[in-house]
Amino acid sequence: MIDRRAFLEKSALLSALGFVPRALTLEEYERDVVGASVSPAAGFRGRPCVVASANGIQGVKLAYDRIVGGTDALDAIIAGVNLVELDPDDQSVGLGGLPNENGVVQLDASCMHGPTRRAGAVGCLEEIATPSLVAKAVMDYTTHVLLVGPGAKKFALAMGFKTQNLLTERSRQDWLRWKSRLNKNDNWLDHDDDVKINWTHGTINMNAVNASGDVSSVTTTSGLAWKLDGRLGDSPIHGAGQYTDNAIGAAGSTGLGEMNIKACGGFLTVEFMRNGATPEQAALKTLERMVHMTEARMLDDKGRPRYDIQVYAVAKDGRYGSATMYDGASFAVCDERGPRLEKCAYLHKAAERPR
C-alpha cells in the first residue's frame, strides 16, 4: 500500500506534468486506497467470530453455530438479534420496546452485507416486531437503502410481514408512570407505587466474520424511550449504528444515538481499524471522537460525557473488541471458545460519571 502523502505527491506531480488523472480500477482502488481486497483471496482461512452488545449473549451463540454450519454471516446474525426482538422482556428492542412520548413503539434497524456491498434499513417502523428482517428485505428486494414510517410499514406488509401490538403491559405501565410525572400540575396523579425506570435506551448490535473473511453487521432498536414522534436514532443510519467494509471488518454501537450520529461511529471505527488499530483501540478512539463532537450541555465541567455509548467491533481476521464511556459494561462474544461476556475497555472510571 502506498501512503497517502506519497499518493497525493505523485498525483500532484503527474497533474503538473499535464497527465489527466484516470479513474482507478476496482483492483487498483482496493490495493492502493482501501489497503486490502474486498473479496478474500482464494484459500483465505479466517477465524469465525461474532461480537454483540451484552443482551446478545444468546444470539451470538446461535449466530456462531449457524456461521460454522455454513449459513451466510448476515442471515446468522439477524437470526441472533431476532431472539431479542421477539423477547417481550427486553424493553430496548422489538416487541416490548419502550414507546415514544405518545405511547407508540417505533422501531429502527439497519444491516450491511460485506461480500455483496449491500445495505438496508428501516426507521420509525410500527407494529412489526422484527425490523432487522424488514431492513434485510429492503436490501434484498429494492434498489433503496432506507425506508421510514408508514412507507416502511406498507413495504413490510407487501413482503408478508404480520402486524402485532408491540406495546406490552409492562412497557405501557412504564410509559404511563413517565407521563404522569412529567408535570406536577397536570391532570395526571402521581402514584406512590411508581417504580424508577433505570434506563431509557438500549439496542442490540451484532457483527460477525466467517472463516472466509466475509463480514456483516446489524443493529436493531426501539430507540430512546419517550422520544418525540418520528425521532430516528443511530441504529438505522449506515455508518453510525453499524457499518461493514468486507476488506476490513465491522462495527456498531448501542447507547445515546444522537452522539454517535455526529461522529459516524460505525464508519469511523472501521476506518481506525483500516489504519492499523486493533478493534478495541478503534472502539476507544471512536469514543474519544464522540466526546470531541459533543455539545457543552451534554458534558460536565471536566469535559466528561453525561451519557453512555458502547462500541463493538470485529476485524476480518476474527479479532474483536469493545469499549464504553464508563467502566462497568460488558459485551457478548462467541468464537471457538464459546459464548461469553467480556468487560468493555473504557474511557472513564465509573466513579467519574457525572451525577
221 is a site residue for ligand GLY (CB under 6 A)? yes
Residue least distant from ligand GLY (Cβ) = 233
Active site residue 286: no
Q: Which is nearer to ligand GLY, 153 or 227 (CB)?
A: 227
Assess 201 for contact with ligand GLY (CB under 6 A). Answer: yes
Q: Which is nearer to ligand GLY, 110 or 254 (CB)?
A: 254
Query: For residues 105 and 99, is the Cβ–Cβ distance under 8 A?
Result: yes
What x/- string results for residues 239 through 268 when contact with ligand GLY is judged by CB under 6 A?
---------------xxxx-----------
Return d(Cα 130, Cα 113) in angstroms, integer: 18
Report if residue 321 touches ligand GLY, rule: CB under 6 A: no
Cell of 217: 453487521
To which residue does cell 467502566 refer? 327
Q: Could you write out the DSSP letters of every residue in 61-129?
A: HHHHHHHHTT--HHHHHHHHHHHHHT-TT-TTSSTT----TTS---EEEEEEETTTTEEEEEEEE-S-S
Please report whether residue 203 would count as binding ligand GLY according to CB under 6 A. Answer: yes
From the list 13-21, 174-182, 231-239, 273-281, the region that binds ligand GLY by CB under 6 A is 231-239
Q: Closer CB to ligand GLY, residue 234 or residue 335? A: 234
Parallel/antiparallel/unpaired status of strands 249-255 and 330-335 = unpaired
Contact 204, 221 (CB under 8 A): yes
Q: Is 308 in the site for ligand GLY (CB under 6 A)?
A: no
235 scored as a contact of ligand GLY (CB under 6 A): yes
Segment interacting with ligand GLY (CB under 6 A) among 25-33, 52-60, 140-148, 230-238: 230-238
Q: Which amino acid is at 110?
A: S
136 contacts 74 by C-beta, under 8 angstroms: yes
Q: Tell me if 286 contacts ligand GLY by CB under 6 A.
A: no
**Active-site residue (options: 130, 168, 203, 244):** 203
Q: Are 256 and 309 in contact (CB under 8 A)?
A: yes
Instruction: Choose, by CB under 6 A, the member of 234, 245, 308, 335 that binds ligand GLY.
Output: 234
**Backbone dihedral region of 149: left (phi > 0), alpha (psi from -120 to 50 degrees) or beta?**
left
Options 8-16, 20-28, 149-157, 216-224: segment touching ligand GLY (CB under 6 A): 216-224
Q: How far is CA 197 from CA 226, 324, 327, in A?
A: 12, 21, 21
As annotated, the active-site residues are: 203
Q: Where along the sequence are the contacts to ligand GLY (CB under 6 A)?
A: 201, 203, 221, 223-224, 233-235, 254-257
